[in-house]
Amino acid sequence: MRMPSDKEANAPVFEIDHEFGKMAVSMGQAAWSIPELNQREKSFTCLAADVCLRDLGLPFQMHVQMSLGNDVPLNHVREAILQAAIEAGHTGTLVALKRLKEVCDEIGEPLASDGRVSGAEPSFEYFTESNGTNIDSELSRMWRGLMPTYWHRPGLSIKERIYISLASNVLQGILGVPFVHHVQLARAQGAGDEQLRALFRFLSEYGFSRSWAALDVLATLR
């Protein structure tokens, strides 16, 4: 298992600024030690954050390598980036995929492009009755045919994909109806509120107040 305290993982940060390196390692170690999330979930959350925030330089490269160091297959790294397109946007995802190919070339890891779509989770429905009255009917109609392209793909679990949406919501400050819907979907997939709180605490590396606000809203949802 690879952690932010590993010298191989944090060396690029210390090369830039030693004092910030110590700060960053302390923050990363605290986040990556959260027990309620596994290393895959943490990896996908970081990748989604990078796509959402357009942090596609050194942070993205380090998170790709952190994912691989925690036994996340490279095609699952790519899959997490594809999933992020729903909330982080397709233009940002295109740039992230281009950057992923560059990183793979730099570290000598071949990236296979697999366009297959599988009905591995055919029972999952993104549009549920719980949000049926809170979404524009034309927006719903436009996206109903698109959603299986993302949610029914192989590689990631439905819960992992929902975590990617929640991470994007928190980092963009979207804590209204879409955030509530994703919380409901996560609960339906077996995520307890302690896991959701852990997810939002993990995201505090990307801004303390963002996590605080998400935890505050979660506390009101029953």
User: What does the alpha-carbon distance between residue 214 and residue 166 come to, in Å, rounded to a whole number?
Assistant: 10
Would you say residue 57 has pLDDT above 50?
Answer: yes
- Rounded to the nearest angstrom, the gap between the alpha carbon of residue 151 and the centroid of all alpha carbons in its chain is 14
Written out in words, the top-level CATH class of the domain with range 34-111+128-218 is: mainly alpha
Domain residue ranges of the chain, discontinuous segments joined by +: 34-111+128-218
- The pLDDT assigned to 30 comes to 94
Would you say residue 129 has pLDDT above 70?
Answer: no
- Spatial neighbors of 59 by CB under 8 A, at least 6 apart, are 50
3-state secondary structure of 128: coil
User: What does the alpha-carbon distance between residue 73 and residue 120 come to, in Å, rounded to a whole number?
Assistant: 18
User: What does the alpha-carbon distance between residue 25 and residue 9 come to, in Å, rounded to a whole number?
Assistant: 10
- The pLDDT assigned to 116 comes to 53
- The pLDDT assigned to 133 comes to 58
C-alpha dihedral (109, 119, 166, 196), degrees to nearest 10: -100
pLDDT band at 8 (very low <50, low <70, confident <90, very high): confident
- Structure tokens of 16? 């830039």
- Structure tokens of 165? 């949406």
* Greater pLDDT, 196 or 133: 196
- The pLDDT assigned to 10 comes to 77
pLDDT per position as a tens digit, 134-193: 788 899 899 998 999 999 999 999 999 999 999 999 999 999 999 999 999 999 999 999
pLDDT band at 117 (very low <50, low <70, confident <90, very high): very low
> Of all residues in the chain, what percent carry a pLDDT higher than 70?
93
Would you say residue 199 has pLDDT above 90?
Answer: yes
Q: What is the mean pLDDT of the chain?
A: 90
Q: What is the pTM of this model?
A: 0.92
- Spatial neighbors of 70 by CB under 8 A, at least 6 apart, are 1, 2, 39, 40, 42, 43
pLDDT band at 87 (very low <50, low <70, confident <90, very high): very high
pLDDT per position as a tens digit, 21-55: 999 999 999 999 999 999 999 999 999 999 999 99
Half-sphere exposure of 84 (CA within 13 A, CB side): 30
- By CB neighbour count within 10 A (0-12 exposed, 13-18 middle, 19+ buried), where does 168 fall? buried
Taking a C-beta distance cutoff of 8 angstroms, is the pair 3, 32 a contact? yes
